[in-house]
Structure 1
Amino acid sequence: MAWAAAAGLTVAALVARQRRSPEPAPGQLRAAALEVLEDALPQRRTFDVQLWDGTVLPAPVQPAAARLVLTSEHALGRMLRLPLDLALGEAYLRGDFEIEGDVSAVAGITEGFDAPFTPGRTARLLRAARLLRQNAGPAPHPVEARLDGQAHTRERDRQAVTYHYDVSNDFYKLWLDRRLVYSCGYFPTGTETLDQAQEAKLDHICRKLRLKPGERLLDIGCGWGGLAIHAAQHYGAEVLGVTLSEAQLREGRARVEAAGLGDRVSLELRDYRDVLAGGQGGFDKISSVGMAEHVGRRNMPTYFRAAYAALKPGGLMMNHAIAAGTHKTNLPAWLVALYSGNFMQKYVFPDGELLPIWETLQHAEKAHFEVRDVENLREHYARTLACWSRNLETHREQARAMLGEPRFRLWRLYLAACVPYFRDGHLSIFQSLLAKPDGAGHVTLPPSRADLYG
């Protein structure tokens, strides 16, 4: 902020000063754009930038992995409006710029900053950015998620799940694995295909839960039934899976019947609170994979208390969830302050909340769970997302026909942009094995992890 003040501009002034300036002289916007790009772009970036007139600023690291193409003289000004994360994301959804090649190379831009933002550099950047913003003209907002009611009530949670997961089963089939597992895969050797990695993940979870034939497993947020089917087929478990997505439920039930598991796997359209609080307990094991992110901080105590009550003494719970990371950005503090962090909330996962792992485990322990094992799989998720992103690129024309251009662009950006977030540690994902000791304080677990890898 001190640098911004040295340039005669504060963050508040940047937000407030949206009045249009006199018409810029010919070539003035191009000169301002070049000034912004030369001052703002990191020297270690791996993508070219192309202006609307065809001018190319080549990537310092060649060969370039991608090219960012500004489609008009107004594009960069719209991208630089505040808050920056919303402006950049919405500009892409509108088509103010295109990304040719690897989208994740552009999305990981903040990791390339190495030159310091000196007062002089900051002053030039802010002056040029202000000129571009003031002459960018109005731009329509893309369609965003609009939910009714209070966050994390049953009805609003249903709306949020429907918005993200009921896009189209056929759309998800374009880029997920054959089991339709929409969560982090497991690549123990690094050579696995996506199908192999998802099967390895399902097996990793079942082995951590030490599932045995005849045990009752509750799968909270069962998706299309991948884990439920795997647990019944390979471990002989009796599974109840619950979801709030009608589209997932239809597909999941069809897959259960096709596998001949209708007598051992039951999938239901139910809120987790109705299962856990409805006296339907006596489960030997509980799995929750990619679901806790939708619970919300306020409801975490209820979530873990109800899960604890639903487990038999000596039972185990696997909580597999994304967590806020600890990696610090290279951006200066004043620039970070111009971000809202709301793009994902508005357009991808409405009402989603990511807690740091320590807070999640604290809620679990307050519910009397004993934490027995915690594993961070963030590198595995970066690899998973890269696989999903490549698959979507391969089937981009089919996806565009299914979703329409704006929604397709949203998914393209979301999947690819998440790759550097997990790769560089801004986000993590943890498998936390939680136990409910019996009356004597015992938990039936082996003395080592060797059985997981045997």
Structure 2
Amino acid sequence: MTLSIGEISDRIFGTDVPFAVKAYDGSRGGNPDAVVTIDISNERALRYLVTAPGELGLARAYIQGDLLVEGIDPGDPYDFLTLFLDDFEAKRPPVGELAEILKSLGRKSFRVPELPAQEALPQWRRAVEGLRHSRKRDAEAIHHHYDVSNAFYELVLGPTMAYTCACYPDADATLEQAQEHKFDLVCRKLGLRPGMRLLDIGCGWGGMVKHAVQHYGVTALGVTLSAEQASWAQQHLKENGLDDRGEIRHGDYRDITETGFDAVSSIGLTEHIGVKNYPSYFKFNYDKLKVGGRMLNHSITRPDNKTPALTRGGFINRYVFPDGEITGAGTIISAMEDQGFEVRHSEDLREHYARTTRAWCRNLSANWDECVRDAGVQTSRIWGLYLAGSAIGFERNHIQLHQVLGQKVAENGQAPYPLRYDFGV
């Protein structure tokens, strides 16, 4: 007897699940009383699920439009994704049933279909772009994610064009208020004052540079690997009359030759450089500072220092941040200390990043049609999955966000720092 797709689903997942299943062969399965229905609409969807069981196969089928979810908000699939995280897991059928399932699926189901164009190569094949975290490969990874279009990012990020964790001064603050508050918090932690020189590594669209120049009277240099970001940010500084003291440079931070900075900010870059490069990265920043200067490192972290920094083969690695690596705050602090920094302060803002990603989801949802026109429906679906999944990860403490403040102290131990930190925000 050949099993239907609905029957196969029930053999693997059971019927006590938070979704119903319907398939192109006319069969149904899952929980008939569930609010959500997953529609395996064609043979290619089934092949995606069979050849890559788990999140990657589901993502491929959903991105291609072969797996449909009735009632889902593609810009904000938060509620849908939570269904799969609450005590839900597949079960391994008995050997006899497994053989019947495999026979019913047939050989054709095990042929990998054409992959979505947005999917990055697996780690072992990415070697054609150079060694991981080589200059060429880093540039390719940044291009993969950041060079969508400035218009798309404006729709998702909002007016501040800040693509890093915001810091909410209170529960009722808007995303824009929280992003400005974040930049101000960084400026205060760095102790910026008029006349100082700031280096902002991985500056994105220049939000930190703009805030520091406009509100703290500094001269600032920002650098980004994204040509799209650099062009937009420099024009924005010019439009606001700040380009006489603010510069956004397109290039690799390792090519910066200037030294003697009073402060260095690195907001959302450490995730991209690779843990093995932490020593050279923090040594670079240490050498750029004057004695007494401060560095603020702001990055996504893990809740422990044991989990491998690079997650291979998952949705994030293949569709969002190729070569991205995150580790615990302890690893970052140790690396900073080993390069000479005295770590003055560390703070976890993970709940703030959960709020931030939820706000980006709402923007994507509200501007869905425009986002699709600009970037295409597949890319827009990827962003919906990515942002909603990230919000859940921060909420459940699977990932965190740490700001770590270090200082370059004189050989005699003297450094201009208050007896207790008081950032005033």
TM range (shorter): 0.7 to 0.9
Cα offset, 1:439, TM superposition: 2.9
Q: Is residue 284–residue 315 contact of structure 1 (8 Å, CA) maintained in 2?
A: yes
Counterpart of 1:200 in structure 2 is 181
Aligned residue among 320, 331, 341 for 1:359: 331
Deviates more, 1:260-269 or 1:155-164: 155-164
Counterpart of 1:287 in structure 2 is 265
Counterpart of 1:405 in structure 2 is 377
Counterpart of 2:58 in structure 1 is 88
Q: Is residue 161–residue 205 contact of structure 2 (8 Å, CA) maintained in 1?
A: yes
The residue correspondences of 1:225-304 to structure 2 (distance < 5 A) are 225-275=206-256, 278=257, 280-304=258-282
1:315 aligns with 2:293: yes
Aligned residue among 396, 400, 403 for 1:428: 400
Cα offset, 1:351, TM superposition: 1.5
Cα offset, 1:40, TM superposition: 7.9
Change (3 A) 1:185 1:436: same
Counterpart of 2:41 in structure 1 is 71
* Partner deviation per Cα, 1:9-50 (whole Å, 9 max, x = no partner): xxxxxxxxxxxxxxx63x632212233332684xxx5xx434
Change (3 A) 1:94 1:449: same
* Partner deviation per Cα, 1:185-216 (whole Å, 9 max, x = no partner): 11131211111111111111111111111111
Q: Is residue 183–residue 211 contact of structure 2 (8 Å, CA) maintained in 1?
A: yes
The TM-score, its normalising length taken from structure 2, stands at 0.87
The whole-number CA distance in structure 1 between the counterparts of 2:50 and 2:254 is: 42
The whole-number CA distance in structure 2 between the counterparts of 1:238 and 1:298 is: 32
Q: How many residues align?
A: 405
The whole-number CA distance in structure 1 between the counterparts of 2:275 and 2:146 is: 21
The whole-number CA distance in structure 2 between the counterparts of 1:80 and 1:106 is: 21
**Aligned residue identity for 2:275:** R
The whole-number CA distance in structure 2 between the counterparts of 1:133 and 1:201 is: 52
The whole-number CA distance in structure 2 between the counterparts of 1:413 and 1:49 is: 20
RMSD of Structure 2 on Structure 1 (CA) = 2.8
The whole-number CA distance in structure 2 between the counterparts of 1:103 and 1:80 is: 23
Q: Is residue 220–residue 288 contact of structure 1 (8 Å, CA) maintained in 2?
A: yes
1:51 aligns with 2:37: no
Change (3 A) 1:113 1:29: same
The residue correspondences of 1:298-447 to structure 2 (distance < 5 A) are 298-326=276-304, 340-447=312-419
The TM-score, its normalising length taken from structure 1, stands at 0.81
Partner SS state of residue 260, structure 1: coil
The whole-number CA distance in structure 2 between the counterparts of 1:252 and 1:167 is: 15
The whole-number CA distance in structure 1 between the counterparts of 2:141 and 2:285 is: 22
Structure 1 unaligned blocks of 5 or more: 1-23, 330-338
1:108 aligns with 2:82: yes
Partner SS state of residue 51, structure 1: strand
The whole-number CA distance in structure 2 between the counterparts of 1:154 and 1:439 is: 34
